[in-house]
Structures are given as C-alpha cells and as structure tokens.
C-alpha cells in the first residue's frame, strides 16, 4: 500500500491508484503487495475476503451474515488531532482538525477480531446530529450512516497487505466515504488472514 508521511496515528494514507480490482472486483493477474516484499495473488485469497475488499456495503452486517454471530464495533481510541500534512483523499490540508478513530470489529459470541479499522474524519463536513453520535461512539460508522439515512458513496482507493501489531498478516483496504458530494471519511480496514482461511 502506498504511504504518506507525517499523518496522525503513525499511519499514512494512499493516493487513488488505478487497478481493475478497485473498480471492477476482478483483476485476473492482480497481486497484493506487502511492505516487507511479500506478495499474494488475489486469486489465492478466499472468495469472501476478495468480496470484502471491494464491497461498498456495511462491513459489520456482511461479517455477521458470514460468521453467523453478532458483531460489535469496539472503539479502542478516539481523539481529535491536527493534520501535519495534506490528505488529498478527503481534501484535508495541513492544520485541519480531524477526528481519528481506532476500532475493531469483534464477534460477540466468539470474541474473535474479524477486522480492525483506522479512520480519519472531517467532522465539520458531516451533519450535526450524525457528528455528535460519531463523537459519542454510539455505533460503527457504516451502521451510523445507514441509520441516519445519509446518502453516501464508498470509493475503494487502495488494497494491500500489512502486518498487524501482533505480527499477524492482514489483507487491507483503504476507502473514502463521500457524503453530500464531499469526501469526509477515510478508512483503512485490515482483515486478519488467518480468520478467513487456513493459509
């Protein structure tokens, strides 16, 4: 995954890259690249994991249907920070105040973590009621958008692989959520490979 430097949380945000998989959900010879040089052909991923990488629906509900248990969004950390460099994907400039959220999607019955999510949010560009519920950590972002009835669009910007803090390999995607024609939320979701296959 392509990286910027100096963004909050020690992570970096990708530029939009043109790959057929991003837009079509199919890329015959596509390969996921890891930062440590390890590659994984998209054809070798479990079909459900490939579908998760391109979905424009609410991930929590898809995970519940697949794993057949309720999924809880746990907010691990949330804070406001000032961007140290521009983040073009959501039109953020250096000096703009953004809400940063680290979360995990966890099975309530099993306790297993199905995904982690790191979000950068331009709170001043979302409706006030939505913004307050977001700050209050009431529910996950996708469910909040759906329940609020906001018209939105998700655009996948990048896919790749990363090692999680515990050393586990994960398949990741970064996408932005556009609300009322403005890109306001940038999310990187990582899916631990071992949860989805015996790779």
In the chain, where are the structural domains located? 34-196
Q: Higher-confidence residue: 148 or 101?
A: 101
pLDDT of residue 158 exceeding 80 = yes
- Percent of the chain at pLDDT above 70? 78
In the CATH hierarchy, which fold is given to the domain comprising 34-196?
Chorismate lyase (3.40.1410)
Model confidence pTM above 0.75: yes
Query: pLDDT category, 53, cuts 50, 70, 90?
Result: confident
Going by C-beta distance under 8 Å and a sequence separation of 6 or more, which residues neighbour residue 73?
A: 60, 103, 104, 105, 106, 139, 140, 143
């Amino acid at each position: 995954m392509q990286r910027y430097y100096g963004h909050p949380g020690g992570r970096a945000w990708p530029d939009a890259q043109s790959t057929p998989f991003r837009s079509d959900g199919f890329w015959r010879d596509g390969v996921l690249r890891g930062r440590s040089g390890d590659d994984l052909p998209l054809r070798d991923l479990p079909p459900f994991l490939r579908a998760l990488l391109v979905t424009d629906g609410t991930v929590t509900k898809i995970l519940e249907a697949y794993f057949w248990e309720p999924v809880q969004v746990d907010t691990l950390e949330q804070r406001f920070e000032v961007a140290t460099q521009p983040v073009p994907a959501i039109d953020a400039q250096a000096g703009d105040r953004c809400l940063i959220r680290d979360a995990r999607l966890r099975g309530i019955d099993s306790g297993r973590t199905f995904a982690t999510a790191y979000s950068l949010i331009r709170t001043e560009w979302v409706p006030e009621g939505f913004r307050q519920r977001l700050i209050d950590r009431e529910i996950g972002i996708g469910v909040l958008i759906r329940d609020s009835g906001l018209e939105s669009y998700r655009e996948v910007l990048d896919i790749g692989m990363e090692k999680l803090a515990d050393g586990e390999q994960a398949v990741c995607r970064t996408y932005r959520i556009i609300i009322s024609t403005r890109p306001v939320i940038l999310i990187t979701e990582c899916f631990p490979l071992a949860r989805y296959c015996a790779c």
